[in-house]
Amino acid sequence: MALDKPYKDIPGTIIFDAEQARKGYHLNQFCMSLMKPENRERYLADRRAYLDEWPLNDAQKQGVLDLDLNACMREGGNIYFLAKIGATHGLSFQQMAGSMTGLSEAAYRDMMVGGGRRPEGVRLKDQDGWTPPEVGQPAQALRPDAPARYTSAVFTSHVPAIGSAMDFGKTEEPYWKKVFSGYEWSRQWMSQNTPDVIILVYNDHATAFDSSIIPTFVLGTGAYYPVADEGYGPRPVPDVEGFPELAAHIAQSVIMDDFDLTLVNEMVVDHGLTVPLSLLFGDVEAWPCRVIPLAVNVVQYPVPSGRRCYELGKAIRRALDKWDGEPLDVQIWGTGGMSHQLQGPRAGLINAEWDNAYLDLLIADPVGLTAWPHLDYVDEAGSEGIELVDWLIARGAMDDQFGGGSPEVRHRFYHVPASNTAVGHLVLSNPSD
């Protein structure tokens, strides 16, 4: 079930999508480097030498050397990026655009002055055999035997002190033993049920994203994510291997499903992502599977609602359902929470009744849970309890939300405290697993 890309057939046009972006990643980043005067100077002084500093393929390098923008476009370049090359050579946008048409500069200018290129004959709809695309509704049922199987969901708090307890060998201390006892079953189960890839939903804690940019939903489409230094030095845990092909597929499907994501190829990952990995996999030399990070903004209001997160989960499952690549065992993890407040005179707030009601509804009635407003999370579970919206993404993607059977509750754990936080942990499996 290939993704719908009707724009690929528009005559004389290359649409820059995630696939092209991946192909042209270094070419476009090379173009961006030309925004600095000192780089433009070095490039113009010895173009070949400057290009050789970048991991470009031969066709990309030759395209730049020839100022052949069509060739650069075919190799994944995007015109807004490529324009930095033209600008460096003193070319106007009209000269750049004209250079791709086969017309002389004068003929192109005259065409524009004469009203521009007429659309008749150069549209998709003017091509032989064209039929208008069907406007479908988002799928509400799952494809049987889809190669990417969402087997289980894992939900857990991601308190930084849990990571420190592991990193500094304190797991046997009575305070921490009580926390880690809740993960013994899961670690054992995980060793038998290691997925190929985890879509790991978490919230960045002013680590990869600061006040200069506040993206609501960030999907990691990169190949590799270094462990962040959050101020204490990086945790001594492995860096994270991504899954660019699957992430680009998910991005394409989810955005075409009217869900706007921010796509990030390079970012560091903080405790929100690494502590859950440590909890479930223990101390390892390398994480045993690939990870697609999905970061939700809960730092600066407005943050997405539980309903929006649930709907994003559904869109992600529709994307998995359309994957036609290698067979994959996929888990989706929801992390953060449960109740905690890290700020102000109300710091230390814990609401065990509310947390357990949340767990009950997450298991049995996630749609009912989506009716809970933001105010409830913050008022009842503390200002940082809002992290729990992350969990609804993993839950919205499960089989029963597409007419399948209810998930099996494999494991449930609740404990107060770890640092300032109530620790909640659930493992739910789809019945197909």
Name the residues that contact ligand DHB, by CB under 6 A.
158-161, 205, 336, 340, 342, 384, 387, 419-421
As measured in angstroms, the least distance from the Cβ of 176 to ligand DHB is 13
CB 409 within 8 Å of CB 363: yes
Distance of alpha carbon 119 from the chain centroid: 37
Query: Between residues 311 and 387, which has the closer beta carbon with respect to ligand DHB?
Result: 387
As measured in angstroms, the least distance from the Cβ of 306 to ligand DHB is 17
C-alpha Rg value of the chain to the nearest Å? 25
Residue 340 known to be catalytic = yes
What DSSP character marks residue 237? S
Q: Which of 249, 271, 415, 425 is catalytic?
A: 271
* Residue 267 token pair: 């970012």
Query: Between residues 161 and 269, which has the closer beta carbon with respect to ligand DHB?
Result: 161
- Which 3 state secondary structure label does DSSP give 92? coil
Query: Between residues 339 and 401, which has the closer beta carbon with respect to ligand DHB?
Result: 339
As measured in angstroms, the least distance from the Cβ of 374 to ligand DHB is 17
Query: Between residues 27 and 298, which has the closer beta carbon with respect to ligand DHB?
Result: 298
As measured in angstroms, the least distance from the Cβ of 178 to ligand DHB is 15
Burial of residue 145, with CB atoms counted within 10 A of its CB: 0-12 exposed, 13-18 middle, 19 or more buried: exposed
As measured in angstroms, the least distance from the Cβ of 335 to ligand DHB is 9
CB 296 within 8 Å of CB 235: no
Query: Between residues 159 and 291, which has the closer beta carbon with respect to ligand DHB?
Result: 159
As measured in angstroms, the least distance from the Cβ of 417 to ligand DHB is 7
Nearest-10 crossing angle of helices 271-281, 160-167: 50
Q: Which of 205, 249, 340, 425 is catalytic?
A: 340
| First-to-last C-alpha distance (Å) of the chain | 22
Query: Between residues 275 and 289, which has the closer beta carbon with respect to ligand DHB?
Result: 275
CB 18 within 8 Å of CB 71: no
- Strands (E) in 179-318, as ranges, are 197-202, 217-220, 224-225, 240-241, 262-264, 290-296
What DSSP character marks residue 6? G
What DSSP character marks residue 385? G
CB 210 within 8 Å of CB 276: no
Active site residues: 271, 340
